[in-house]
Amino acid sequence: MKTVALAIVVIGACLAWSSSPAHAAGLECPRLAELDTPADPAEVDRLGAKGLLLEQPAELQAAAAFLREQGLSADDSINHLIAFYCPSVAAEAGLSDDEKAARLRAFAAQASRAVLAESNVEDLVFHVPLDPKTAAAVSERASKAGVTPEEWIAQTIEGALR
């Protein structure tokens, strides 16, 4: 869950206003030079799939595996995938700032799932939409139990299956 929290923080940073060169129409993308990269950053920069190509599940999985093979932690792998993807979204003139932010958030979630799946093949991540009322109830019950909503959902399902 630390990785998911980090991905959310990265997305928040991506959406902040800045005067950096990577800034485009209200969307600031992380720069590779500012990320934690192993001893040979040039090797990581040679990643084949970049930009919108990373929306393809096979390309995203391959990129996640490649970054992990280069010695990047799960958190750093997610950050790098976002850095490789973000400039393409920022450059899309046909999207509003809100649409760009939504697209980047969706990709960050996909990247997190891909990297986490690569890290722990015993765990599967399901993407299940919940209506707002149900999501609020889950959050409330998780808070009362002192766990994250994700942990509460997993515990509830595991308990129901016993």
Compute how many other C-beta atoms are within 10 angstroms of the C-beta atom of residue 82.
24
Q: Residue range 58-87: average pLDDT?
A: 87
Residue 85 near residue 54, CB atoms below 8 Å: yes
Residue 135 has pLDDT above 60, yes or no: yes
pLDDT digits (tens, 9 = 90+) for 6-43: 444 444 444 443 333 344 446 788 887 777 776 566 66
d(CA 148, CA 162): 21
Compute how many other C-beta atoms are within 10 angstroms of the C-beta atom of residue 118.
18
d(CA 142, CA 110): 23
- Which of 63-72, 112-121, 132-141, 147-156 has the highest mean predicted lDDT (pLDDT)? 132-141
Name the band, by pLDDT with cuts 50, 70 and 90, for residue 69: confident
Domain boundaries along the sequence of the chain = 2-119, 132-161
Helix (H) or strand (E) holding 24: strand 23-24
Name the band, by pLDDT with cuts 50, 70 and 90, for residue 51: confident
d(CA 82, CA 102): 13
pLDDT score at 123? 57
pLDDT score at 20? 37
pLDDT score at 66? 85
pLDDT digits (tens, 9 = 90+) for 107-120: 999 999 888 876 65
The beta strand positions in 52-147, using DSSP E, are none
SS3 156: helix
